[in-house]
Amino acid sequence: MGVKKKNPVTPGQRFEIADDFSDITRNKPEKSLMFRIPKKAGRDWRGRISARHRGGGARKLYRLIDFKRTKEMPAKVLGIEYDPNRNARIALLQYQDGKKTYILAPLGLEVGEMIENGPQADIKSGNALPLSAIPLGTMIHNVELEPGAGGKLARSAGVGVMLVAKDGGYATVKLPSGEQRLVHLQCRATIGQIGNVDAKNVRMGKAGKNRYRGRRPHVRGVAMNPCDHPHGGGEGRAPIGRKHPVTPWGKPTLGFKTRKPRRRSDRFIIMRRK
């Protein structure tokens, strides 16, 4: 994958850095692996907005991704596709029994390659194995946190996790943030780094592109009236004017820690990212 800068014939293209989609080999998605997700525009089960600045956007269908990789049978890569629901590419596989499925496409995966799952699989990009069968120092992605629950760690474009140690039934993995945590050796992971590494270099260029993605405008609190936000009001441009920044409802924000103490997963974290 690469990026391209367009000739700015319009103001919106002046700062745009776009994806060139050079790694896409298949344009039509597999219909049997797609379904529609109703839009909620940031509203919860009560119909009230619980996530602000969401709504609108282009229509899109969800692609069913196989995060568990439990089918221990060779599969052939039919193509690399674009997924509107994530920044990583997805690969369409067809197993020997004819079943088709999508997986996250690792870096360097080619059309026509054979991919395997299970402890007997080779240490090759795209193969999924338990952590107990993966040698130390290997770059992995789509790592499970609980055996059989499906991959949870390292699923975005260009991300990879390093397997650094094994001891006492657990493996130590180092995340891109620098955090190190324990994962059970029976958890599965996929070999290699996720592709589309240039996704972080893409720039929208104009506000309309964010609207296509369902992101509505975000107004600063200091630009509002005091009846609308605690930061609002004042003559002309004014600072926040209070000791700690707060949300529109008075809760602390901008650096305030919200993680609950004694979470169940805290005991598996060896070294935090900070």
pLDDT digits (tens, 9 = 90+) for 181-234: 999 999 999 999 999 998 999 999 899 999 999 999 999 999 999 999 999 999
The pTM of the full predicted model, rounded to 2 decimals, is: 0.86
Q: Is the pLDDT of residue 264 over 80?
A: no
pLDDT at 127: 92
Q: What is the rounded (10 degree) CA torsion for 105, 108, 109, 114? A: -140
pLDDT at 1: 66
What's the pLDDT tens digit per position in 89-128?
A: 999 999 998 899 999 999 989 998 999 998 888 899 999 9
What's the pLDDT tens digit per position in 140-167?
A: 999 999 998 999 999 999 999 999 999 9
**CA within 13 Å, CB half, 51:** 12
What's the pLDDT tens digit per position in 12-61?
A: 889 899 888 888 998 899 999 999 988 899 999 999 999 999 999 999 99
pLDDT at 219: 94
pLDDT at 252: 93
What six digits make up the tokens of 258? 């919200």
Beta-carbon contacts of residue 233 (< 8 Å; ≥ 6 apart): 225, 226
Mean of pLDDT values over 164-178 = 92
Which DSSP category does 210 fall into? H
Using an 8 Å Cβ cutoff, are 26 and 78 in contact?
yes
Which DSSP category does 117 fall into? B
Q: What is the rounded (10 degree) CA torsion for 159, 162, 167, 168? A: 10
* Cα 195 → chain centroid: 12
Of 3.30.230.10, 3.90.580.10, 4.10.950.10, 1.10.645.10, which CATH number belongs to 219-268? Answer: 4.10.950.10
Domain ranges for the chain = 3-200, 219-268
Residue 160: count of CB within 10 angstroms of its CB = 19
Q: Is the pLDDT of residue 7 over 70?
A: yes
H helices present in the chain, as ranges = 207-212
Residue of 88, 217, 58, 228 whose CA lies nearest to 159: 88
pLDDT at 273: 85
What's the pLDDT tens digit per position in 249-259?
A: 999 998 888 87
Distance CA 91, CA 66 (A): 10
Distance CA 52, CA 85 (A): 19
Give me the amino acid identity at 145. L
| Sign of the dihedral through C-alpha 246, 249, 250, 251 | negative
Class of domain 3-200: mainly beta
Distance CA 42, CA 270 (A): 35
Residue of 262, 259, 221 whose CA lies nearest to 241: 221
pLDDT at 84: 93
Distance CA 183, CA 177 (A): 16
At residue 13, what are phi and psi to the nearest 5 degrees?
Answer: -90, -5
Distance CA 189, CA 174 (A): 13
